[in-house]
C-alpha cells in the first residue's frame, strides 16, 4: 500500500515535469521517474542498514554495560582482597613482633650456673632453680649432723662430695653456705652454743671447711652465713616442721 502511494506520488511528480503528459507505465517511465524510484530504493536500503546498525549498537551497549558491571564486581573483589592482604600483613607483623620479643626474652633469661638435673635423685636434698639462674640446694640438717652437733656425718660428707664435683671445674660458680636451725630452745648444749644462731653458723662453717680442705674449693668462692631459727621454710611446732627447718642451704650463683 505504501509503495502504491509512493508510486502515485511519483507519477504525479512525473506528470508535472512532463507538462501534463500523464502517468506512464513501467515501460514508459521517464528517466526522472526511474531516478526517483532508485533513490527511494536506496533510501529504503539505507534505512534498513541504519536499523541494523542501531540494533548492533544497542547490542554493543548492552554488552558494554555487562562488562562495566563485571568490572565493578571485580573491582569490589580486588578491594576486598587488598583488605585481606593488609590484614594478613598486619597479623604477620604482629606475629613477627611477638616472635622477636620472645626471642629477646629467651636471650635475656639467665642460664643456670649448673645443670639442676645433675642433682636430681640425691636423697635428702631439694633442688630449687631460681629465676635469676642461680640454684638453691636445701640439705637436710638432720641427715648432715647429729642432734645439737656441728660435725658432719658420713652421709653429709657424701652429699657434699657430689656437690663439689658439680662445681669444682667452674671457678665462676660461687657458693653461699647458709645454716638454719629449728625454733626449739637449746637444752643441755646451751652452754656449748649459747644460741641457735651460733649453732647454725657453726654448721655452715663445717660445710665450708670440708669443701675447702677436703674438696679443694677456694674459700674465695664461698661465703658463710648463719640464720638460726629466723628463716623457717614451714611453720609449725611439730617434729615434721622442726626437721624441715633444720637445714643447710647452698646457693650456687654468679656475680
pLDDT in tens, 120-139: 888 999 999 998 899 999 99
pLDDT for 108:
60
* pLDDT for 184 beyond 70: yes
pLDDT in tens, 52-104: 888 888 888 888 888 888 898 888 988 888 989 999 999 889 888 888 887 76
The pTM of this model reads 0.59
Cβ contacts of 207-212, under 8 Å, gap ≥ 24? 207/144, 207/152, 207/160, 207/177, 207/179, 207/248, 207/250, 208/177, 210/152, 210/157, 210/160, 211/160, 211/163, 211/164, 211/175, 211/177
pLDDT for 33:
86
pLDDT in tens, 7-53: 554 445 444 444 444 444 556 779 888 888 888 888 888 888 888 88
pLDDT in tens, 168-178: 888 999 999 99
- Residues 100-129 have a mean pLDDT of 78
CA 10 to CA 40: how far, in whole Å? 10
pLDDT for 31:
87
Provide the pLDDT confidence category of residue 117 given band limits of 50, 70 and 90: confident
Amino acid at each position: 500500500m505504501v509503495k502504491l502511494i509512493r508510486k502515485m506520488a511519483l507519477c504525479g511528480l512525473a506528470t508535472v515535469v512532463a507538462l501534463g503528459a500523464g502517468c506512464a507505465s513501467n515501460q514508459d517511465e521517464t528517466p526522472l521517474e526511474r531516478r526517483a524510484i532508485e533513490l527511494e530504493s536506496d533510501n529504503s536500503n539505507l534505512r534498513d542498514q541504519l536499523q541494523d546498525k542501531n540494533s548492533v549498537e544497542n547490542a554493543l551497549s548492552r554488552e558494554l554495560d555487562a562488562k562495566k558491571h563485571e568490572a565493578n564486581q571485580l573491582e569490589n573483589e580486588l578491594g576486598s582482597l587488598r583488605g585481606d592482604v593488609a590484614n594478613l600483613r598486619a597479623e604477620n607483623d604482629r606475629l613477627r613482633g611477638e616472635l622477636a620479643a620472645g626471642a629477646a626474652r629467651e636471650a635475656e633469661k639467665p642460664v643456670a650456673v649448673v645443670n639442676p638435673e645433675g642433682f636430681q635423685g640425691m636423697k635428702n636434698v631439694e633442688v630449687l632453680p631460681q629465676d635469676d639462674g642461680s640454684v638453691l640446694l636445701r640439705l637436710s640438717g638432720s641427715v648432715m649432723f647429729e642432734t645439737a652437733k656441728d660435725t658432719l656425718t658420713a652421709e653429709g660428707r657424701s652429699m657434699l662430695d657430689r656437690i663439689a664435683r658439680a662445681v669444682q671445674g667452674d671457678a665462676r660458680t660461687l657458693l653461699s653456705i647458709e645454716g638454719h636451725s629449728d625454733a626449739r630452745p637449746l637444752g643441755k648444749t646451751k652452754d656449748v652454743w649459747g644460741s641457735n644462731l651460733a649453732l647454725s653458723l657453726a654448721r655452715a662453717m663445717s660445710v665450708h671447711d670440708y669443701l675447702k680442705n677436703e674438696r679443694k674449693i677456694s674459700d674465695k668462692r664461698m661465703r658463710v652465713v648463719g640464720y638460726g631459727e629466723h628463716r623457717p621454710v614451714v611453720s609449725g611446732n611439730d617434729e615434721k616442721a622442726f626437721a624441715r627447718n633444720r637445714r643447710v642451704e647452698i646457693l650456687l650463683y654468679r656475680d
